[in-house]
């Protein structure tokens, strides 16, 4: 069994997922409303109906634009958690995610991780970035 985050955006899915691909690497697949014969009629042709970023380790981050959503839609408490291979990688990812965003907890050492930080990226997605302690 596995869980995969599925993010909903209000018109910025392509931009966000392209940025995540630049940060994390992997294969990005995008399906637009124009690609789907049964797309909602209110969806612009270039709206992303499904995006899948498959990372080299097999992990997956998925998303879409929600043509019925508004910026003041439902809010649910959540963060996307990313565990980097080491502190340098955690710092690189955190720096890129937090650029033009909001830092809630700067990257630093904690009692549970040599490098951990929390931010909300410029797309409004909250992230927790860290690494596991050395064994």
Beta strands in 43-115 (DSSP E): 48-54, 60-65, 80-84, 102-108
pTM for the model: 0.83
pLDDT tens digits, 104-119 = 999 999 989 999 999 9
Query: Confidence class of residue 77 from pLDDT cuts 50, 70 and 90?
Result: low
Are 6-65 and 80-131 in the same CATH fold? Answer: yes
The continuous run of DSSP H or E covering 28 comes out as strand 27-32
Distance of CA 134 to the CA centre of its chain: 26
**What is the pLDDT at residue 36?**
85
Strands 116-120 and 126-131: antiparallel
Q: Residue 7 and residue 133: Cα distance in Å, rounded?
A: 29
Question: In CATH, what number does 80-131 get?
Answer: 3.10.180.10
pLDDT, position 16:
96
What was the pLDDT predicted at 78? 80
In contact, 51 and 32? CB cutoff 8 Å: no
Angle between helices 87-98 and 13-24 (to 10 degrees): 160
Yes or no: domain 6-65 corresponds to CATH 3.40.50.850 = no
Domain boundaries, the chain: 6-65, 80-131
Residue 31, pLDDT > 80, answer yes
Q: Is the pLDDT of residue 1 over 70?
A: no
Residue 87 has pLDDT above 90, yes or no: yes
């Amino acid at each position: 069994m596995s869980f995969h985050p599925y993010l909903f955006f209000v018109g910025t899915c392509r931009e966000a997922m392209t940025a995540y691909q630049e940060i994390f690497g992997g294969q990005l697949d995008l399906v637009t409303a124009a690609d789907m014969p049964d797309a909602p009629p209110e969806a612009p042709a270039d709206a992303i109906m499904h995006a899948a970023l498959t990372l080299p380790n097999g992990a997956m981050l998925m998303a879409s634009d929600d043509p019925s959503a508004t910026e003041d839609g439902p809010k649910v408490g959540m963060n996307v958690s990313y565990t980097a291979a080491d502190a340098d990688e955690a710092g690189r990812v955190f720096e890129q995610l937090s650029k033009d965003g909001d830092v809630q907890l700067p990257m630093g050492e904690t009692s549970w991780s040599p490098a951990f930080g929390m931010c909300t990226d410029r797309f409004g997605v909250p992230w927790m970035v860290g690494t596991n302690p050395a064994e």
